[in-house]
Structure 1
């Protein structure tokens, strides 16, 4: 009697999935050749974690990607979207991969030789091997850099190549990426997400690891620098860039400083990062910024995100840029038409990975060929800029009669602007659609980087883009709908290499490194916004009747409610209500809680400010913290329920800050922002509810706002009295919610942060903190009046300004105080 397979028999599920997949037309598919043990292993691993539910496998991998923080942004959208990862990786045998590896390295060497000539001797143009128009007509050719030798001696440090696999298994190059090669971080994140879901796959089929590639890239950049222990930064355009999340992840993984243009300054042809300790030398930048925006003094004078003088520092050999500005001249589709001949001429060998057939219309014979065969070609811009006659890359057969006439007219007028290319048909691979496997076309992005010896190292795998529709034409596929991990596998076991060095090989350090001024500014204001939102939320909850005092219950005296309303209005959270009746207070509270328009600084708007700061601080915040900051605004039906949900979120963030953030300078600025904001809120609340003549409801409200009800009850058993309440809330240094506690913490933080001068004299922010500390510690609860509390509030504002002037960026000013630290 035959035994029935177990319900969760992974092998049976995998076999069934493959058999069902083979019912599709798999001509050209990666599984067309028959049963492959590696693919069987991959599907068995999927079944082991998701049973018979492929949809669950997809959700599991996507959840891991979200946990890692993977995301991307669409132009004009404020918030990121989750990075779409397929649970089915693309598997490539190591023998097939070696051909790709050799081809990519050969191509990178060829591209380096060409770009060095175009910005050096220009012999290729002089001898007619490259038409001059092909170079000068490119928007990415930077004429001012001709004759400039790059720091480190090489123009290219990292290269990306897009490959297409044809129906018969051959690989060809679709495009090269030299200006700002992106996607290496997504390849890393795909690997992390899939590895967490399919933990046993790497060992079963010996998947080659990514870590050696990143280690080689880091060593290659470092070797091009003058100093033995260089400081390397990743230059980002900022959080609105489409791949900012990837850049932040890469910076953290590689140990690079994530910097923006405003973080950097050039002095005497050397590049520095502006930090809380002064200017610190930067030796190399992996730039993800358009080269024309790099330096407003050299290129686009309107650039607001570049670094004035950066090109002078690079030309002087004092900073390495990966890649050199101007290398993008080789990215144009037109240049692909000349690479086969240039490879033969310059290296004596054909390209291992040929480009797709390309005809540049700047040559009469090629233009005539494109006219004659346009119905079987892709028509595109030669240099990537928009054209009046084409809406992007367009199959000639799909042009209307009017479109065809417009194309031919413009081709006659400016033939050098156009190329014709063969239509590439792509292989397909399995992807989860709904609850089953479907074949979809894919392209592969592969990365190469120089190692410490200057040799090209190719990342084993890269990442795959998967098309939305079954149509296998590359032009129809576009950018793709999903991404997939790419696993290079073989018979030989893979050593468990990590980017991290051996535990005993590093010199121990407890200094966390350089803190840029912009990062300090962000952490300071993140603390202030979180504390400000929590304080406003507390006032709203109390006004709605959520007092925890058992004597007064939910009913506060109108005078106390009026003072709460006044505090909320003074915070700019909502306009003053017409009356203190509940019918007017409820919409007032709703505006203060969740208004998104009208300029009101509601809790929702304050949270949005904090969320934006979290978005630019991914390289320094934990994934849990980012998730809490990114969490959508609560939508429970009751307003008090929404308030409770927000309060728990604030408490979770505060707990992460207190218990999980290392006591670095970044944490000090975050906590400093919290302390200043809490101190100011406590001073204002004491002035509103704790002065002479305060009612029982006023004092109860003050204890609630200061979160000190329990502390007071434990200390005083005879009931509520004004002086003990004021002492506990304002002047008790042992109460972590008290004004005095915040002032002491502020003074301690400023004493621990770096100073620019070495004369032993206190800096202005330290002087302000000391004066504030003296004012609070000498005050008496019985005599504390509105004037003193107002002076404390004013001094807190002055102190905040002094901190900002000393530590944060002030426009283009290189230093914030007399004194300079260069390291």
Structure 2
């Protein structure tokens, strides 16, 4: 075995040496791989691991890396698009020696302390402007300056808890800062997911190269926020704009990894200057919010009154010291491109030292001499908006001055003359390259490194070792041309010293045991409830279509159902709004009818449309669902085969989803709401099926169809081998509590769930939803099968609808009414 392992390593080493030789042969002196220091074996070891994993096929390695990223559920959304895209992960990580990383780390910490001091001055004494170190227009003219926060000192004393910066490495090997991210820094979750995916693929690299771990950074960040709170065991939430945000998948992953509540603005409410989350057990105190919402949309009472994603009164709670907001709103004023021109000077006057990581040379056109420099050097600079993403003369964002001509150049110069403060000129930065897989070979591409820093429990800054790299699509090394990049890569910091195997999972001996899964926000309960209902609704509709397909449309002989039974099946589909009534009951018209009911995406509540709703709900609750469940919800609608093949594929998918929820979801309140939705929808569906097919003159086909749609055909035949009869069928499908598809069974499960969910009072009396469930259960349990008729079933159907409304009013806290309702728990 040993000799084989050595041989394998030798083969991998030979392949890696050939890759490096072919890649560096053109003399790429500014490339990270080709310009590595003598004795730096990081790149070689990484490529050997890659070769040992996939042999000589780099294309196979790329596919495997992408598959690992997708298995983790990593995705992102382009603004304006409805569907998420898979996160593009390169199989070749960026390797940085520990000594080189130390320089980056020191520079980021210095920069974070400097920016904290600047922001504190802006919202505090205001000396920098008063003493003439900064133009007043640079601060008060910025859309990121939030005047209502002047004089407000954040809880814990810090405006910044978490920052990010984009770095570029020049051809000379020196790193510089291209931009700062302070308002709602994104990407740390992607760095974490990149590392998880690469660890699955290159697991041996961690110990072989002593790669720095990321868990200590995230643990320090969580402890840092907690240390700023007033309570010893604070409740911390991650505030997201919602599932349509481009980085929602990353936010959900971070919330799950850090053990934070993932909340939206509608989940939160401020009462008496304290922040609460709406939960199924009432209002619960929130002590800290890591926000990913634009600060101008954070509080409609303090900032943008049109915001529908913020929390009214949040700034009052912040001012009262009752909630920590990370980062404090208003810090983004230093994020603007215009401010980069002043950071070197501010570092000298405030800290008496140069920046260890220089900023890209920038000229703000709001000053006369700087505007003249930009006008003179226009063709050798990047022209960019000074504040925000656009300016009137740059409708498409930053541009190379040399590429502006004709009307575009004239429009820019005119607006530069009219509103010079809206523009900056920046030097053109040429970036180093790193290898990426293109086809089945390594190709150089420019990259930008995003790094992250967070405060620990003692208030000092911790830097995430590595971050993630954004890689350009084209070889052009200019940072402006690269844009946002096409691929991402893990960033590995490696050194000679062994790395302690730290994880966010504490040791079993030091962890306080708990079986309470924590707070369940009302919105999440609502989502899980309706996810269960939509899945059950889609499966029920599909069941009707499968009976049509299997017993009528696709029948080649006399096995077809009777015309009256077919008509009743069609009426059920039409009544559900899944398709318009067919022109006739001929084979071709019925096939078109089923096709519409199964796959229409425009006007009808088809199976496909129902699945789309389930998928959207799943995307909004992904921090609560297993990756396998998300993948099944996101799976494309089947397109191969005939109608029966597609129906079978969908049925297997529904069965898999039901199995995952039944066997893999812990029996928490979250599971109860999901199963409650399934049981309620199934009870309503079976009630309607019984009303349709158990008429007094029901035929054998009617009763057989009833048993098919209630998934009770086998149970009936085992119990009554002599043939079909109406009363026994009704007893089995409606009243038998031992039949998992019967109405009685669903009502028993519903009553059990409602009995175990939280109540808002301790008087021992049933809440409205509990009382309604017991009433319906009592009616069913005291009814005889021979007495079941259409009026009784209609009454049950209406009571089930009222029960659904009662569950929504009690647990989902719709609107403002529940905030004023008596008995809500404030904890």
The TM-score, its normalising length taken from structure 2, stands at: 0.97
Report SS of the residue matched to 2:734: helix
Q: Which residue of 2 aligns with 1:108?
A: 112
- How big is the shift at 1:370? 1.1
Aligned counterparts of 2:99 and 2:287: Cα–Cα separation in 1: 39
Report SS of the residue matched to 2:536: helix
Aligned counterparts of 1:656 and 1:553: Cα–Cα separation in 2: 39
Q: Which residue of 2 aligns with 1:512?
A: 517
Cα distance change on mapping 1:566 and 1:26 into 2, 3 Å: same
Aligned counterparts of 2:180 and 2:816: Cα–Cα separation in 1: 36
User: 2:389 touches 2:397 (CA, 8 Å); kept in 1?
Assistant: no
Q: Which residue of 2 aligns with 1:203?
A: 207
Aligned counterparts of 2:637 and 2:134: Cα–Cα separation in 1: 58
2:520 matches 1:522: no
Report SS of the residue matched to 2:622: coil
Aligned counterparts of 2:399 and 2:553: Cα–Cα separation in 1: 67
User: 1:810 touches 1:816 (CA, 8 Å); kept in 2?
Assistant: no
2:301 matches 1:297: yes
- How big is the shift at 1:508? 0.8
2:576 matches 1:571: yes
Q: Which residue of 2 aligns with 1:332?
A: 336
2:290 matches 1:286: yes
Q: Which residue of 1 aligns with 2:34?
A: 32
Q: Which residue of 1 aligns with 2:639?
A: 635
Report SS of the residue matched to 2:498: coil
Report SS of the residue matched to 2:550: coil
Aligned counterpart in structure 1 of residue 567 of structure 2, from 554, 562, 571: 562
Q: Cα deviation per residue 1:403-438 (whole Å; 9 max; x = unaligned)?
A: 333322222221111111110000000000111000
Aligned counterparts of 2:121 and 2:495: Cα–Cα separation in 1: 39
Alignment of 1:665-680 (within 5 A): 665-680=669-684
Report SS of the residue matched to 2:787: coil
Q: Which residue of 1 aligns with 2:794?
A: 790
Alignment of 1:221-620 (within 5 A): 221-390=225-394, 391-546=396-551, 554-598=559-603, 600-620=604-624
Aligned counterparts of 1:397 and 1:25: Cα–Cα separation in 2: 29
Aligned counterparts of 1:476 and 1:303: Cα–Cα separation in 2: 34
Q: Which residue of 2 aligns with 1:11?
A: 13
Q: Cα deviation per residue 1:524-554 (whole Å; 9 max; x = unaligned)?
A: 0000000000000000011123489999974
Q: Which residue of 2 aligns with 1:182?
A: 186
Alignment of 1:690-701 (within 5 A): 690-701=694-705
User: 1:547 touches 1:704 (CA, 8 Å); kept in 2?
Assistant: no
2:740 matches 1:736: yes
Alignment of 1:697-708 (within 5 A): 697-708=701-712
Aligned counterparts of 1:141 and 1:283: Cα–Cα separation in 2: 25
- How big is the shift at 1:393? 0.9
User: 1:549 touches 1:700 (CA, 8 Å); kept in 2?
Assistant: no
2:716 matches 1:712: yes
CA RMSD in angstroms comes to 1.8
Q: Which residue of 1 aligns with 2:88?
A: 84
- How big is the shift at 1:695? 0.6
- How big is the shift at 1:814? 4.4
User: 1:8 touches 1:52 (CA, 8 Å); kept in 2?
Assistant: no
Cα distance change on mapping 1:437 and 1:553 into 2, 3 Å: farther
Report SS of the residue matched to 2:156: coil
User: 1:93 touches 1:488 (CA, 8 Å); kept in 2?
Assistant: yes
- How big is the shift at 1:715? 1.5
Count of matched residue positions in the alignment of Structure 1 and Structure 2 = 820
Q: Which residue of 1 aligns with 2:685?
A: 681
2:138 matches 1:134: yes
Aligned counterparts of 1:24 and 1:763: Cα–Cα separation in 2: 76
Aligned counterparts of 1:229 and 1:775: Cα–Cα separation in 2: 47
Q: Cα deviation per residue 1:26-70 (whole Å; 9 max; x = unaligned)?
A: 121012236742111111111112111101100101000000000
Q: Cα deviation per residue 1:487-520 (whole Å; 9 max; x = unaligned)?
A: 0000111111001111111111111010000001
- How big is the shift at 1:16? 1.2
User: 2:553 touches 2:591 (CA, 8 Å); kept in 1?
Assistant: no
Q: Cα deviation per residue 1:286-315 (whole Å; 9 max; x = unaligned)?
A: 000011111111111111111111111111
Aligned counterparts of 2:415 and 2:304: Cα–Cα separation in 1: 29
Aligned counterpart in structure 1 of residue 71 of structure 2, from 67, 72, 89: 67
Aligned counterparts of 1:386 and 1:344: Cα–Cα separation in 2: 31
Report SS of the residue matched to 2:754: helix
Structure 1 range deviating more: 20-29 or 238-247: 20-29
Q: Cα deviation per residue 1:642-663 (whole Å; 9 max; x = unaligned)?
A: 0000000000000001000000
Cα distance change on mapping 1:96 and 1:554 into 2, 3 Å: farther
| Structure 1 portions without partners, runs of 5+ | none
Aligned counterparts of 1:404 and 1:66: Cα–Cα separation in 2: 44
Aligned counterparts of 1:683 and 1:172: Cα–Cα separation in 2: 68
Aligned counterparts of 1:544 and 1:458: Cα–Cα separation in 2: 61
Aligned counterparts of 2:338 and 2:729: Cα–Cα separation in 1: 78
User: 1:706 touches 1:738 (CA, 8 Å); kept in 2?
Assistant: yes
Aligned counterpart in structure 1 of residue 666 of structure 2, from 659, 662, 669: 662
Cα distance change on mapping 1:554 and 1:688 into 2, 3 Å: same
Cα distance change on mapping 1:49 and 1:208 into 2, 3 Å: same
Aligned counterparts of 1:7 and 1:754: Cα–Cα separation in 2: 59
Report SS of the residue matched to 2:676: helix
Aligned counterparts of 1:662 and 1:552: Cα–Cα separation in 2: 48
Aligned counterpart in structure 1 of residue 769 of structure 2, from 765, 770, 783: 765
User: 1:115 touches 1:327 (CA, 8 Å); kept in 2?
Assistant: yes
- How big is the shift at 1:5? 8.2
Cα distance change on mapping 1:362 and 1:814 into 2, 3 Å: farther
Cα distance change on mapping 1:552 and 1:670 into 2, 3 Å: farther
Cα distance change on mapping 1:384 and 1:780 into 2, 3 Å: same
User: 1:545 touches 1:556 (CA, 8 Å); kept in 2?
Assistant: no
Report SS of the residue matched to 2:785: coil
Report SS of the residue matched to 2:233: coil
Q: Cα deviation per residue 1:200-259 (whole Å; 9 max; x = unaligned)?
A: 111111100000000000000000000000000000000000000000000000000000
- How big is the shift at 1:637? 2.5
| Structure 2 portions without partners, runs of 5+ | none
Structure 1 range deviating more: 609-618 or 380-389: 380-389
User: 2:230 touches 2:287 (CA, 8 Å); kept in 1?
Assistant: yes
Cα distance change on mapping 1:806 and 1:556 into 2, 3 Å: same
Aligned counterparts of 1:547 and 1:6: Cα–Cα separation in 2: 61
Aligned counterparts of 1:104 and 1:758: Cα–Cα separation in 2: 54
Q: Which residue of 2 aligns with 1:53?
A: 57
Q: Which residue of 2 aligns with 1:623?
A: 627
